[in-house]
Structure 1
Amino acid sequence: MNRMLSIAANTMGQLQSQLDVLSNNIANVNTVGFKRRDTNFSEMLFQQFDNQPNNSAEVGRRTPYGIRYGVGAKIANTALQLDAGAIQRTERKLDVALTNKSQFFQVNVTENGQTETRYTRDGSFQLLPINADGSKLQLSTSEGNPVLGTNGLIIVDGNAKDFSFNETGGLTVTNQNGTRTNYQLAVVNVLKPQNLESAGSNLFRISSAATVGQTVRPLNATQVSTMGGALEQSNVDLASSMTDLTLTQKAYQFSSRAITMADEMSGLINGLR
């Protein structure tokens, strides 16, 4: 098999994966609390040709001796970037933004009868009734998943008239009679972002290869930093992402052209009489 064909084909498959990552980043440029992923490439297997036995003939050379003949590039990893997005004021009382880039809200998600704790930076919360008469409301995400507090689910009186978040993740609920009830959001600090995997709906879960203690650490109120009436925007830089997308598309086109050229060369050789 023509080695040019294998090199180009291997690289094109990896470039397609990079295009998928970049496209997902761009599609979520306006998603609240979204965290972009960056791709890192590494060289695949290569063959070393020591074609110069006399190193004294290579005086001044700055590259390694010999010739390295590779078989293409591959994506070494896709890294989650926790850079903080811009904070936008909304003045909505149930919106809250985390101002520390490594902190995440905890959310309960039930799928196929199994409940799992997941993590998000999206603080656009809402109160949903949990009984028929609406006398009890539960703090939930925009997708309807329960938000966790330090004492479990956050359930408030259905007749509450006012809500506010403070700067340490505390929710104060004012009832009709003027009494106030305080709740504390359960927030964790992410120690190893590489152990988080996307779980859809702007949520993350801990990968099966990692443990909770290795990946996240629960925080108390004094360690949490939030801003009420505001939301964190996506950390995707549209201009930079579009530039990377264009470069990746060009690299894909070059690899495709290499396959065409290799095929044409093989056709010429096979046509010789």
Structure 2
Amino acid sequence: MNRTMITATNTLSQLQKQMDIASHNLSNVSTTGYKRRETSFSEMLVQQFNNHPNESPEINRMTPAGIRQGVGAKLGQSQMVADLGSLNTTNRPLDFALTTEGQYFRVLQQTENGASLRFTRDGAFYLTPTGQNENMLVTSEGHAVLDQNNNPIIISGDASNYKLLDNGRLQVQLNNGGSQEIDLGISLVRKPQFLEQVGGNLLGLPNDLAALNVTAADIYTDLNGQMSNGIALSQGMLEQSNVDMGKEMTDIMNIQRSYQFQSRSISMADQMMGLINGIR
């Protein structure tokens, strides 16, 4: 296989990964609180040929000396874009929208390895009965919403009204005339690039924090106590995804063109090798 085929083959596999990410963005254009991802490429291993043993004639040369031969490009980074999405008014009392970048609700996901802490921007919450006249606040996927102490939020009795107070505190009016106040568990994620998408519009901490030389405290901070003053939350609204459909469609078309170009390079290299092998 000649260098043209090697370069094109290496790049094709990376273009497929870029296509998968762009397609994933496009498929989540209507997902509440979804954050799109952007990709960037970097050059793979390059070989340098110094074909000018005498550099004196090259003093005024404007281009780099020698010949650089690469072996294709690779997907260097897939970065989450934390820009705010537009806000959609629902007037539903259990819909909440975080109006500041970097803030996330904390939820508990039950997995085959046990309960795991997750983060989400999707503030569409519901109630599910747990027995004994109690209801638990959950996400649309049924994951328990956590309070400031990372405990599932349990509402004792039947609720008649919900009111969002300052600092992320939810006041629940009960049918028996009483009330219950709950501090929603919200975290500020300073390094979202370390979070992994785990499905269901949830983000989780990586399993290899030690290998990445970071700790959970480096990635996020719980907005509890005095820090809850920074919580920006609106009731009766939901944040839409920040995916621009037009941009994603344009990116997909550009990726398809690049894919076709690399495929054509392989075909041309194969034809050239066939001509050479046919020479007698």
TM-score (structure 2 length as normaliser): 0.92
* CA shift for structure 1 position 55: 5.5
Q: 1:20: how far off?
A: 0.2
Q: Is 2:81 the counterpart of 1:81?
A: yes
Q: Report what 1:128 is aligned to.
A: 128
Q: Is the 8 A contact 1:40 1:78 kept in 2?
A: yes
Residue 236 of structure 1, aligned match among 240, 243, 250:
243
Task: Give the deviation of 1:87 after TM superposition.
Answer: 1.1
Deviation at 1:167, TM superposition (A): 5.0
The answer to whether the 8 A contact 1:196-1:205 is kept is yes
Alignment partner, residue 59 of structure 1: 60
Partner of 1:219: 223
Q: Which residue of 2 aligns with 1:112?
A: 112
8 A contact 2:190–2:220 mirrored in 1: yes
Q: Does 1:258 align with 2:256?
A: no
SS in 2 for 1:153: coil
Shift of 1:172: 1.0
Q: Secondary structure at the match of 2:48?
A: strand
Name the structure 1 match of 2:69.
69
Contact 1:165 1:229 in 2 (8 A): no
**Residue deviations 1:178-205, cap 9 Å, x none?**
3221101111111211210000000011
In structure 1, the partner of 2:165 is 166
With 19-28 and 50-59 compared, the bigger mean Cα shift is at 50-59
Q: CA deviation at 1:114?
A: 0.5
Asked if 1 retains the 8 angstrom alpha-carbon contact of 2:106 and 2:185, the reply is: yes
Deviation beyond 3 Å, 4+ runs, structure 1:
55-58
For structure 2, the 5+ residue unaligned runs are: 210-214
What RMSD, in angstroms, separates the aligned Cα atoms of the two structures? 1.5
Match of residue 202 from structure 2? 203
On the 8 A contact 2:82/2:101 being kept in 1, the answer is: yes
Deviations 1:246-268 (A, max 9, x none): 11110011000000001111111
Question: Structure 1 residues 88 and 56, CA, compared in 2 at 3 Å: closer, same or farther?
Answer: farther
CA distance in 2, matches of 1:113, 1:268: 58
Query: Whole-Å Cα distance in 1 between the matches of residues 188 and 125 of structure 2?
Result: 20
